[in-house]
Amino acid sequence: GAVVSQHPSRVICKSGTSVKIECRSLDFQATTMFWYRQFPKQSLMLMATSNEGSKATYEQGVEKDKFLINHASLTLSTLTVTSAHPEDSSFYICSARDRRQGYNEQFFGPGTRLTVL
Amino acid sequence: QKEVEQNSGPLSVPEGAIASLNCTYSDRGSQSFFWYRQYSGKSPELIMSIYSNGDKEDGRFTAQLNKASQYVSLLIRDSQPSDSATYLCASLQGGKLIFGQGTELSVKP
């Protein structure tokens, strides 16, 4: 399947700082990428849909000023958690859909575990 | 958005047995369905996609789709301890993947 990378894999930061997470599609172009958050023992929660060259679409209840998304190219989307607080500690996972085969298969990056102290 | 339902488990099967994982969905307009495997602490890995009624086989995995009953299943033959993970069922609705809550599978040696 298609390869999606994510960086960093783990980050620990102090409360009030901002953290940037990068998501890259390595062997295909992704006009659309998705950002998810997952808390322990829970399923994935879609935060936003990132569209290349345009503004992201946020799910209800997700603060767009808190979670800044930029999709600068067909292979790179970034999520910036601004002024992070302990309640933002979570597993953040990006995903991209590979449409080369004409299907809708969606592949996930390895995730970023954020801990806010 | 409409729901995707799975039994949360845990489902425990002995090594070598067939594991059967089930999923129902409420959106009759859904056409694309997926099974992901997620190991503890890791991100989901796509293992099967299915778009038409009937069975689709890939190695030890068989996905089954019944659109009339709004039912998707995953069979794992010759289950191995390495298959122990949470299995997520998902349907594509309005361009977004909608996930079930996942079924935890434990394969006992």
Instruction: Give the tens place of pLDDT for each residue, B39-58.
Output: 999 999 999 999 999 999 99
**Contacts of range B54-59, beta carbons closer than 8 Å, 24 or more positions apart:** none
B54-66 residue pLDDT tens: 999 999 999 999 9
* Contact assessment for residue B77 and residue B17, using Cβ atoms and an 8 Å cutoff: no
Nearest to A58 by CA among A34, A32, A85: A34
Pull the structure tokens for residue B95. Answer: 């361009």
* Contact assessment for residue A93 and residue B43, using Cβ atoms and an 8 Å cutoff: yes
Q: Do A106 and B46 touch (CB under 8 A)?
A: yes
CA distance to partner chain B, nearest, from residue A12 (Å): 16
Interface of chain B toward chain A, CB-CB under 8 angstroms: 32, 34, 36, 42-46, 49, 51, 88, 92, 95-97, 99-102
CA-only gyration radius of chain A, Å? 14
**CA dist B63 to A16, A26, A70, B29, B86, Å?**
46, 28, 36, 19, 16
CA distance A79 to A37: 11
Mean pLDDT of chain A: 92
Label residue A24 by pLDDT band (50, 70, 90): very high
* Contact assessment for residue A67 and residue A78, using Cβ atoms and an 8 Å cutoff: no
